[in-house]
Structure 1
Amino acid sequence: MSRRIALSVAAGVVALGGAGAFALAYAGEPQQPTLAHSTARYVAPDGDRDGSLTFTTDVTAAGGVKRVNVLAWPADSSLSDTHLTEKDMASVEKAVCEPSGADTAHCTYRVAFTREDADEAPRGLWHAAVLATAADGTTTLETEAADFTIG
């Protein structure tokens, strides 16, 4: 083997070894859950029939999803100024999550809206906030995961 080829091979081994060490170090760090395909749908009450709010999202978390908390809030409320925190979200209602692939769950939050609820709710733009918690305890807070309008 020529000296130039030997040096090229040695440099390649060093480069690959460094990349592998970086990949192993990165893989050892906990990864936050990720949200995808988040949607919110509000249906107003009609006659004697209740309306509803349905929020869905796909959550991916290494090791699985422990829980997903959801809070609907009006865009023009005081929460816009104070900003939601994980502590605020810890005690709100939970979505129902079903496994939908490796480390991914499809989560649905649904709540009925009576005529009284709809009459009392502020009109206009609303946001759905989500706190996703992975099995390893890492979290992701998305305060405006999806929007809907109460008209």
Structure 2
Amino acid sequence: MSPRVTLSVAAGTLVLAAGAGAFALAYADEQPPALSDSVARYTAPRADRDGSLTFTTDVTASSGVKNVKVLAWPENSSLAQRKPTAKDMSAVESATCEPSDDDTARCTYTVPVTATDADASPSGRWHIAVLATADDGSSTLDPEAAGFTVE
């Protein structure tokens, strides 16, 4: 093979490799947010104190975490038939998120539970639905990110 052909093949290989790398980087930037380590903790109220519901999750988004919406819903409700949608999640409360590294945030949602709240809530299994939105507008909906039991 002539040196010119060898040089052209090598240059072409570099261009293909660089193009594949750029595609991989662009694809990585377009990934929706990912949820991990999601945990719900429910503490029932007692006569001397309120209870609480606390949900935590780690959200990873290469463009940054814009918002995390959280909805607790009972398994024996109308939502069990159809699961919460992104539209359902638009009006619910947001978690508080603190960065834990360059592209991950630890998000926490806590709400007090009074005796009146507990009495009005159905007993049994509950789920936590989460809608995580990244700064680039991509989002991930997990209708059953975590669960807990109300007795």
Global fold match (TM > 0.5): yes
Cα distance in 2 for residues equivalent to 1:87 and 1:22: 37
1:62 paired residue number: 62
Structure 2: which amino acid aligns with 1:58?
D
Match of 2:19 in 1: 21
- Deviant stretches of 4+, over 3 Å: 16-20
Tell me what 2:40 maps to: 40
In structure 2, the residue matched to 1:119 is 119
TM-score scaled by length of structure 2: 0.87
Q: Structure 1 unaligned runs (5+)?
A: none
Spell out, residue by residue over 1:57-87, the C-alpha distance to the aligned partner (whole angstroms, 9 max, x if none): 0111112111100000011211121222111
State the Cα distance separating 1:18 from its structure 2 match.
Answer: 3.7
Query: What is the aligned residue count?
Result: 146
Displacement of 1:108 in angstroms is 0.4
1:101 is paired with a residue whose SS is coil
Distance of 2:17 and 2:112 partners within structure 1: 52
Structure 1 distance, partners of 2:43, 2:132, is: 25
Work out the percentage of aligned pairs sharing the same amino acid: 55
Matched, 1:143 2:113: no
SS in 2 for 1:137: coil
TM-score (norm 1): 0.87
C-alpha change, 1:124 and 1:21, in structure 2 (3 Å) is: same
The one-character-per-residue Cα deviations of 1:11-45 (angstroms, maximum 9, x if unpaired) are 8x73x654542332232241100111100000000
Counterparts of 2:45 and 2:129, CA distance in 1: 23
Distance in 2 of aligned mates of 1:110 and 1:150? 16
Runs of 5+ consecutive residues of structure 2 not aligned to the other structure = none
Secondary structure of residue in 2 paired with 1:116: helix
